[in-house]
Every structure is written in C-alpha cells, then in structure tokens.
Structure 1
Amino acid sequence: MTRLELDRISVTLAGRPVLADCSLQVGNDERVGLVGPNGSGKTTLVRAIYRAVDPIAGSVLLSSDNVEKLSQREVARRAALVHQEPVTYFEFTVEEIVALGRAPWQGPFDRTRQVDRVVIREALAQVGMAEYGSRQVGTLSGGEKQRILVARAIAQKTPLLLLDEPTNHLDIHAALDLLELVRALGRATLCVLHDLNLAATYCDRLYVLKAGRVVAAGAPVDILTPALIREVFGVDCVVLTHPVTKSPVLAFSRKTKQDRTPEPEPVPHPRRSR
C-alpha cells in the first residue's frame, strides 16, 4: 500500500506560484529523494504534506486518506519530520527532545508514561545514542544533534519519514552516517537532498523539481543524465559509475557564460475548485 501520494498539487505563497501540478508517490519501505535547485519548491512540497501550507489545487494522501480531512494530530501519527534547521534547544536534555515525538500519542494533559519511556529508550538505541539520554543538547556535535532529531521521528512511530535536507549542516562523515542510519530503519522515506551524489547513492527513486514543477522522475541511474543536469542545474557534468556501490557519480563543471539561459517562469496555477 502506498504510504504517500501527491496528485497534481499546486501551491501559491503571498500571491506567487511556488508549485504547479506536482505528483509523486512513496511506497512501503521505499526511499525517495527530492532534488532540485534552490527555490525550486522542495521544502514547500514537504510542508504541504504535513499541512504547514495548503495547496490551491490537487490532493495529498497519507495511507490513502486526504490530509485535508485529517486532524494535525492524525497527520503527526502518520508522518514524522526531520527538518533542516539546527537544534537550538540547548537547555534541554536528549531524552526531553526525543520525548517530543510521543506528543501525537498523548492526551493534552498526559505526562511521559512508562510506555513512552520504553519507546524513547528504543529510539535512542536505534540511533546509537542509548547512553546520551541525560546529556544536554548543547554539548552534542552537529551529527549527534541530527541523530537526536531522527530518534525523535522514530519515537513518533509513524510509517512515513519526511527529511528536509537532513545533511545540510553536516560534514561528509556525519552525512554518510546519518543516511546509512535512515536506510537501515526500513521505513517509507521522502528525503530532500542538495547533494546529487548522496541522493543517487541512498535513494531508490528521485523526483527532480525545477521552477515548481516535477520535470523528471525515476531511478537515479536512469534520470541523472548530463542533459538533465545541464537543463535543471545549469552546469555540465560527466556521469561515472561508483566502483563499489555501482550508483551514478556526477563530476561537475560550470557552463560557459555564453551557454547560460534564463530560468523560465513557473506556469500559473489553476484555481482550486471546491
């Protein structure tokens, strides 16, 4: 059963079209990547999934149910977010941060229960931080902080994980470590990534956004071609094959000045029919 399905969604923010007719799917245990230039609408698309923004057209389905008909609590029981912003809760302990993932399963006046403590301990163990529960978040490295956010998402017990540029503030060792961890979880995952080589290595399928539209979708080896990279990102590249993983490896070079073409304007969105 498909965990996530976006059917031709369009989003306008402050009167400006941001997404137009975007469709994608993420199935059970599938790792799907979302890539594209800055400003192409990747984060907005993720925000539409958990109802931080409302599409003016199209639909977002979580486990076959339209998110418009679900409460925010129910959405949080089906999709957990690992966002791109660095952790700033320096005065909190690791356990307190991970405990936030239990909120969708608690009543408004519930305290952390024994069942929640068990889930929190299990989540910390899964990210290799079982001994860190009492540590202050401010004492952790960048990679450790991102692991804590993944642990919070694990504790949320959702069938779908949403990751919005989770490697944005990490060095390459921490980035690889985090993506290996996410892959080992075996959950349906939609991950926004800037690094195309990381996306090619860790994602089963990719969707490529340009100017608010999905312009390509498929397995990394099929769609990450020099022609697409040139059209979407405005750079030339040579596509190689990694000798170990067999995934595509992209070696980039800038286009010459005379080759550069202006970005097209997004196509105006249709008005939503109610």
Structure 2
Amino acid sequence: MRLALSGVSVRIDSSPIVAECDLTVEDGERVGLVGPNGSGKTSLLRTVYRALDPFAGSVALSGDDVTTLSQREVARRAALVAQDSTPDFDFTVEEVVAMGRGPWLRAFESTTGGGDATITAALERVRLADHRARRLSTLSGGERQRALVARALAQESPLLLLDEPTNHLDVHAALELLELVKDLERATLCVLHDLNLAAAYCDRIYVLHGGRIVADGPPAEVLDPELVRTVFGVTCTHLTHPVTGGLLLAFSPQQPVRSPHSVKG
C-alpha cells in the first residue's frame, strides 16, 4: 500500500485550510503529521478517507485516485482511528470491533456472534480478548483507544490513519498505544501533538504550518531548533534519550523581546 498526496489544497466554506501539500507514506512506513493547532492536520487527513474532497490536487491509494473509488473500497484500503470516535451508543467491545468488518460484508450479513476469527485475532492483538463482553463506557481511556485500534485491525486495511490517538491519555496509556501501533508494522499516517512521541515512533515527519508543509524528513533532521522556534514558538534543545539513545526534545518558552523603553535606570 502506498499513499500519495499531490498538490492537495482544501477549502471549507470557501476558506483555504491547506494549500499545495505533497505527502507520501510507503508500505510499512510510519509517518507523522505535526503542526500547531489550526494548521490543517486533521483536514489533510480527512482527504485520505474522503470525508473531505480536495479543492485541488489528488489523493491516491495504491495508485488509484480516491475520488474514483467507492467509500467501501476506500475503507478496504485505509482504516481510521479518529478523534472522539467512540460510538454514540454503548456497545460492547466485541460489537465495536465487529464494526470494522463492515466494508467486507454483504448486505444484511451479521458481524456479531463471536465466531469471526478476524475479530478475535484483533481483540487478542490489543490484549482485550478478556474484555470483549464489557461495555465500552466501562473501559479506561487507554483501553477504549485500544478497542478502536482493534476495530481498525478487524477492517484488515493495509493503511492505518490515526488522528491524535494519544489525546487525553496518560503517559502510560499513550506509550502503550504507540508501542502497539509500532508492532503492527503497517503503513501508518499519524497526526500527533507531542513532538517527542513523533520523534520516538515515526520514521518520517511532515510539519504543517499555516496550511502548508514546511518540512519533511527524519525526525532528527526536521525538528531542528530553528524550525521548532518558528513553527511552534518555543525554544528547543536537542538531547539524547538516556534509555533509547534517540532524539529527545527539551522545550522552554521563548524569552519575550523587551522594549528598550522598558529598561529602568
């Protein structure tokens, strides 16, 4: 599976959101999409699964423009774990995971009953097999996110799309979830706020700023102090993680520029 965005621009109610974005995710690659709030990350991700149509440019899955594919075919190629994607009704964990089978089922074919090996395998992969009969509302935040990842796994799509998957999770749950995604070895496009998590778990990173991609490449090259200062408005120092040996970013607020007229003396 290869995802390719070429010159993608998005407008909502005639307002430009993102402009002329090029982005690729190769088979098995984990790619992060980072940027300040309002930079267009989620809007760009939504063009991949056809929740938004590009104003210009194209989005291709395995070489096919998504606008030529049915929504069912898009879902067979790309599975989404969206922000606040908990179902409105209080389903059991098994029922939620079974929803991932929808793109592959014939009309009126049931996904429930517990006999589907794909559903069972997905539950076991996220370590929720013992929780299959529990209501989603009874789970912790981390467990709910794992259930939603299991739903995406049951969808058996070669591309995984994650929109802020660690949002509202504590440190343990966030690391556990990203370790799980890493072990899946699927092509992954992940929107993240936390730059240290992006640096630790992504092979490449795209940085969005003002609706445009301003940098892309390996985390250690892209997240340089000057770019972080310009895009995120903070001072950044590169450190080496004492355990993993990877990149660790230390942040501090930018010092405000003092007017010479404010100096007393």
Q: Deviations over 1:51-97 (max 9, x none)?
A: 00111111000011100100000000000000121625462100000
CA contact (8 A) 1:12 1:56 kept: yes
Q: CA RMSD in A?
A: 1.5
Pairing 1:160–2:159 present: yes
Counterparts of 1:105-144 in structure 2, within 5 Å, are 105-112=104-111, 117-144=116-143
| Residue 262 (structure 2) aligns with | none
Unaligned runs of 5+ in 1: 260-274
Paired amino acid for 1:229: V
1:19 aligned partner: 18
Paired position in structure 2 for 1:94: 93
Alpha-carbon offset, residue 258 of structure 1: 2.6
Offset at 1:243?
A: 2.3
Contact 2:48 2:66 in 1 (8 A): yes
**Deviation per CA, 1:125-148, whole angstroms, max 9, x where unpaired?**
000111111111111000000000
2:97–2:151 CA contact under 8 A, matched in 1:
yes
- State the alpha-carbon separation in 2 of the partners of residues 28 and 42 from structure 1: 21
Q: Is the 8 A contact 1:89 1:137 kept in 2?
A: no
Aligned counterparts of 1:44 and 1:172: Cα–Cα separation in 2: 26
Taking the aligned partners of 1:195 and 1:34, their CA distance within structure 2 comes to 11
Pairwise CA distance, 1:149: 0.2
- Whether 1:103 and 2:102 are equivalent positions in the alignment is yes
Contiguous gaps of at least 5 residues in structure 2: 259-265
By relative contact order (CA 8 Å, sep 6+), the higher-ranking structure is 1
Local SS of the residue matching 2:257: helix
Which residue in 2 is equivalent to 1:244? 243
* Cα distance in 2, alignment partners of residues 112 and 90 from structure 1: 17
Q: Deviations over 1:134-188 (max 9, x none)?
A: 1111110000000000000000000000000000010000000000000000100
- Length-normalised TM-score, structure 1: 0.91
Aligned to 2:176: 177
Identity, in percent, stands at 61
Please show how residues 190-229 of structure 1 align to structure 2 within 5 Å. Answer: 190-229=189-228
Q: CA deviation at 1:246?
A: 2.2
The amino acid across from 2:101 in the alignment is R
CA contact (8 A) 1:11 1:17 kept: yes
Runs (4+) of structure 1 exceeding 3 A deviation are 113-116
1:146 maps to which residue? 145
| 1:236-267 alpha-carbon deviations (Å, 9 max, x no partner) | 111111122222111111112338xxxxxxxx
TM-score normalised to structure 2 length: 0.94
Q: Which amino acid aligns with 2:54?
A: P
Aligned residues: 258
Q: Distance in 1 between matches of 2:50 and 2:89?
A: 28
Partner of 1:268: none
Counterpart check, 1:53 vs 2:52: yes
| Distance apart, 1:116 and its partner CA | 6.9
Secondary structure in 1 matching 2:248: strand
Amino acid at match of 2:246: S
Q: Say if 2:57 is the partner of 1:30.
A: no
Contact 1:86/1:169 (8 A) holds in 2: no
From the superposition, tell whether residues 73 and 56 of structure 1 become closer, same or farther in structure 2 (CA, over 3 Å).
same
SS class of match (2:129): coil
Q: Structure 2 CA distance, aligned partners of 1:19 and 1:218?
A: 19
Kept after mapping to 1: 8 A contact 2:95/2:112: no
CA distance in 1, matches of 2:148, 2:114: 20
Q: Distance in 2 between matches of 1:135 and 1:18?
A: 40
Aligned partners of 1:3 and 1:77: how far apart in 2?
A: 14
Q: Per-residue displacement from partner, 1:174-216 (whole Å, max 9, x unpaired)? A: 0000000000001000000000000000000000000100000
